[in-house]
Structure 1
Amino acid sequence: MITCSLTYQIDPYKVPEFEIYARAWIHIITRMGGTHHGYWFPHEGANDVAYCHFSFETLADYEDYRNRMAVDAECNAAYAYAERTRCIIRYDRSFTRPVLDGQPLGDNA
């Protein structure tokens, strides 16, 4: 599994607009075969930072999604909404692989 993690700098006066954008992408990622892990909005601390994580089974699946999203009307509408509302100031994207199962330290100690 590969997880795309995004850190957004958002306009703190446009959180409602960013939430509309976020909900659209949760729907889009799910529709396009990914697993969306949600968005995290500012609560305490910095009021202009939000996070998002979504996964695809393989890097090839993610690359296929990227190719399909480039021509997908709903994806393009979401991007246009963010540009029009200017709710996103900037974002950083990174890729990680999760470790989701625990085990005792055992002989590794």
Structure 2
Amino acid sequence: MITCYLNYVIDPYKLKEFEHYANLWIPLVNKFGGEHHGYFLPSEGANNKALALFSFPSLAAYEEYRTKSLLDAECMSAFQYAEDTKCILSYDRSFFRPVLGQS
């Protein structure tokens, strides 16, 4: 299993737009075989940081999702929404493998 960690810098004046964007993506990741663990929006502290976590069975499965998402109408619409609203200023992506206890 591989977990993608997305670290966003968002426009704090467009939090409502970013939350809408987040709600668009959760079912899309699941549609392509991932398991979305949610978005995490600012509460206390920095008002321009947001996170997302989702997992795929393997890095290959994640790469397949990325390829298919670029051809999917719903995904393209979500990408366009973020671009139109400019709610995301920047982001970076890291990958982790979970440790879920000894088997």
Instruction: Settle same-fold status: TM greater than 0.5.
Output: yes
Give the superposition deviation at 1:101.
Answer: 1.8
Distance 1:65 1:29 in 2: 8
Give the superposition deviation at 1:63.
Answer: 1.0
Give the superposition deviation at 1:88.
Answer: 0.3
Give the superposition deviation at 1:32.
Answer: 1.0
In the alignment, structure 2 segments of 5+ residues that lack a partner are none
Aligned: 1:13 with 2:13: yes
- State the AA in 2 paired with 1:30: N
1:23 equivalent in structure 2: 23
1:95 equivalent in structure 2: 95
* Structure with the greater alpha carbon radius of gyration: 1
Give the superposition deviation at 1:67.
Answer: 1.1
Q: What does 1:17-96 align with in structure 2 at a 5 Å threshold? A: 17-96=17-96
In the alignment, structure 1 segments of 5+ residues that lack a partner are 104-109
Give the superposition deviation at 1:102.
Answer: 5.8
Q: Deviations over 1:72-100 (max 9, x none)?
A: 11111001000000000000101110112
Distance 1:18 1:81 in 2: 9
- State the AA in 1 paired with 2:34: G
- State the AA in 2 paired with 1:57: P
**Over aligned residue pairs, what C-alpha RMSD do you find?**
1.1
Question: Equivalent pairs: percent with the same residue?
Answer: 57
- State the AA in 1 paired with 2:50: A
Moved over 2 A (4+): none
